[in-house]
Structure 1
Amino acid sequence: MERHILILGCKNYPGFSSSKVISSGMEVYVTELVKYLKSCYRITLITADSAVSQEDNIRVVSLPIFGGRLFQPISLFFFSFLPALKLRKQIDLINTQTPLSGLIAYLLKKWFRIPYVVSVHMYASSSEHTGSRLYSAIYHYIEKIVYSAADKIVCAGYGLRDHIIEQHRVDPNRIVVINPGAGPVEVGEPSPSCRREAHQDDGGLKVLFLGRLIQENGIIDLLEAMKLLAGQPVKLLIAGNGNLERYIRQFIDKHKLQDHIEMLGIVSGEAKDKLLKSVHVLIRTSYHEVFPVAYLEALAYGIPVIATPVGDTAYMAEQTGGIDLVPVNDPGGTASAIAGRMHHHVLEPELIDRCQNYLRDISWENQADKTVALFNEVMSRHESLGETF
């Protein structure tokens, strides 16, 4: 009999398919992972404002959702409880994508002995993410409860794993790292020399910020850096959404940076690939990162990256050689790094090959295989103990 996996905490499926929901890398992660998991399991996703799946092995339970960036996960948590409870006799494993949704899994394990695996994508209890010390303290306590009973904890990066072990005293044997998947650039992409010719008359350096427009991604520091570069042949393209959209527009108007900063909104799929091919540099001056796959995708196109040494970024810089590291919260240092790329913005072919090989190693297929092995291990252990689900 085919095993049944319940996925909780994913706000939208597929990721970025709803204008009402503030999606993030986590929704993309689930969307890509399910493409492979559906061949191994029956899957139910409890999510929000999502279309009914047309695939036999995937069931989508779509719920209402309210609020902004911080309150949408809370809304989804409350609406998800009853549907999850109704499925208790059909589920072999719960995979929760946030510690908050993990509270549901925690209760279902205590009441009905259903095993669960927590996937952790970010430093969720940081004050930069929650917006206040009170919320951080509450979320830290939620994490402690959920991690205490989880059968396994899957971290997206090594820095995040070490943080959880230190903060919550988790047994290292219960926590594993499976990086988000990625894929190499297809053969036939423009060479660095072709890209140089294509950009030589475009009016200056094109710098791309690709991510959520929130404080912890360092977007305000980046705006300050662009203010320092006013008058230089540099243009910043901002792709993404988030709670700082209005602030950014006001900043652009206040400092008359309309010729230097352009907001593109959400860009994904083929449009994202096309955008990456059209710019010279990818930049993100984050306060927190886990394992930013977007950096590797840019490098594989021959596009250098400017980033802060947070999460696994320093490790990625060492492995690839194509990431310029700048201090956190340092607009001046960021401006200098951007200026330094004005006349040298194409990576050498050897570095591009290194990045593409690294991407092959962490392809979605490889990462899905690791996830399936982990899920099967957890379910088999519960079955061998005679626990019924």
Structure 2
Amino acid sequence: MPDALLTMFTEQGYAASKIRQEFNVPAILIEPNSIINKKEIDDYFYNLAYKTYHNLDRVIAVSPAFRDHLNEKFNIKSIYNPVLPSLELFFYKERENSEIFKIVSTGRISKLKGFRELILAFSEAFKDKKASLEIFGGGPDEAYLKDLIAKENMGDKIFLRGMQNRETIAKAYESSDLFVLLSHSETFGLVYLEALASGLPIIATRCSGPEHLVTDENGILVDLFDHDKTVEALNYMYENYKKYDKRKISEDTKNNFSKKKITDDLVEIMKEAVKDYA
């Protein structure tokens, strides 16, 4: 038998909890499940999560806000440690300035990722300015977004790039000035972290995931569905994006979310769990 079990997501955590009970081995769950990150959780998933969390040695949430949500909803004492990202591809590289203010966004093209709100805010902020918006990703909301772009007469400024590999997205980040994602709910927000690793300032929503990533030095947080504040944030970035230290944004991200740091922290958590069985 292993010294400890480490798994991710609720369903796998439930299986680990059963192994723990049968073989008396510590079990640890890293929980990034967005289905759990709701005010009203489906009864099936709530019951599954409750049984799972209360029969594990450690539950690790992937953001501080998500940790607080789990503790309140399930009466547990989860801890925070981020997921282990691979950011090397996105680390800052020198780039040439462009006459066009370039915004990039990445995510599954669904209503919950806030692309509808982004297109409307972009259309208002940049109707008469030299700016572009590239959106990477695929999903069920693509047809709606195409119609919305046409309705807003933004076909020469907003571009749906579809599903692309990480290398293509990293290249797009290199030539961009700002990353924006107005997601309705995030447990962590890896795409925000990749953008920061690239040195891009970001605009994000207060949706449980990105709050611990965004500071005054690297971006702006706006409330969900606050169209006016989003337009205001976009205009502010248009005027001030050059004031952000892209190299420092990238270095801070590298230092705080390096593989070594996250791995070392996770190993300590596992060692503590094993000690409880000594």
Q: What is the distance in 1 between the residues matched to 2:214 and 2:268?
A: 29
- For residues 253 and 91 of structure 1, do their structure 2 counterparts lie closer, same or farther at Cα, with a shift above 3 Å needed? farther
- What residue is the counterpart of 1:356 in the other structure? 251
* Unaligned segments of structure 2, at least 5 residues: none
Alignment of 1:375 with 2:270, yes or no, is yes
CA contact (8 A) 1:302 1:346 kept: no
Among 20, 31, 35, the alignment partner of 1:109 is 20
Deviation at 1:252?
2.9
SS of match in other structure, 1:124: helix
Residues 237-262 of structure 1, C-alpha deviations (whole Å, 9 max, x = no match):
11123332333234334444322221
Q: What is the distance in 1 between the residues matched to 2:165 and 2:275?
A: 37
Residues 147-177 of structure 1, C-alpha deviations (whole Å, 9 max, x = no match):
010111111111111111111110x3xx221
Alignment of 1:95 with 2:6, yes or no, is yes
Report percent identity of matched pairs.
20
- What residue is the counterpart of 1:246 in the other structure? 143
Q: What is the distance in 2 between the residues matched to 1:231 and 1:215?
A: 23
Alignment of 1:160 with 2:160, yes or no, is no
Amino acid at match of 2:177: H
Among 295, 313, 316, the alignment partner of 2:213 is 316
Matching of residues 130-169 of structure 1 within 5 Å? 136-169=42-75
Q: What is the distance in 1 between the residues matched to 2:207 and 2:59?
A: 21
CA contact (8 A) 1:230 1:260 kept: no
User: Which range moved further: 263-272 or 140-149?
Assistant: 263-272
Q: What is the distance in 1 between the residues matched to 2:228 and 2:17?
A: 46
Residues 69-112 of structure 1, C-alpha deviations (whole Å, 9 max, x = no match):
xxxxxxxxxxxxxxxxxxxxx55543331112322223333344
Among 219, 223, 226, the alignment partner of 1:330 is 226
Deviation at 1:377?
3.5
Alignment of 1:267 with 2:169, yes or no, is no
User: Which range moved further: 273-282 or 242-251?
Assistant: 242-251
Among 96, 99, 102, the alignment partner of 1:195 is 96
Q: What is the distance in 1 between the residues matched to 2:107 and 2:189?
A: 10
Among 113, 121, 126, the alignment partner of 1:225 is 121
Deviation at 1:345?
2.2
Alignment of 1:288 with 2:161, yes or no, is no
SS of match in other structure, 1:317: coil
Among 334, 342, 351, the alignment partner of 2:238 is 342
Deviation at 1:332?
3.1
Amino acid at match of 1:164: L
Deviation at 1:307?
1.2
* Unaligned segments of structure 1, at least 5 residues: 1-89, 385-389
Across the aligned residues of Structure 1 and Structure 2, the Cα RMSD in angstroms comes to 3.0
Amino acid at match of 2:167: E
Deviation at 1:236?
1.6
Matching of residues 167-186 of structure 1 within 5 Å? 167-170=73-76, 172=77, 175-181=78-84, 183=87
CA contact (8 A) 1:296 1:355 kept: no
Q: Which one has more relative contact order, counting CA pairs under 8 Å at least 6 apart?
A: 2
SS of match in other structure, 1:167: helix
Amino acid at match of 1:157: S
SS of match in other structure, 2:82: coil
Among 124, 142, 145, the alignment partner of 2:35 is 124
CA contact (8 A) 2:90 2:197 kept: no
SS of match in other structure, 1:262: strand
- What residue is the counterpart of 1:51 in the other structure? none
- For residues 248 and 348 of structure 1, do their structure 2 counterparts lie closer, same or farther at Cα, with a shift above 3 Å needed? closer
CA contact (8 A) 2:183 2:204 kept: yes
Amino acid at match of 1:338: L
Alignment of 1:212 with 2:108, yes or no, is yes
Residues 290-347 of structure 1, C-alpha deviations (whole Å, 9 max, x = no match):
34344344345442211113325344333x5121222211233222322332343224
- What residue is the counterpart of 1:298 in the other structure? 195
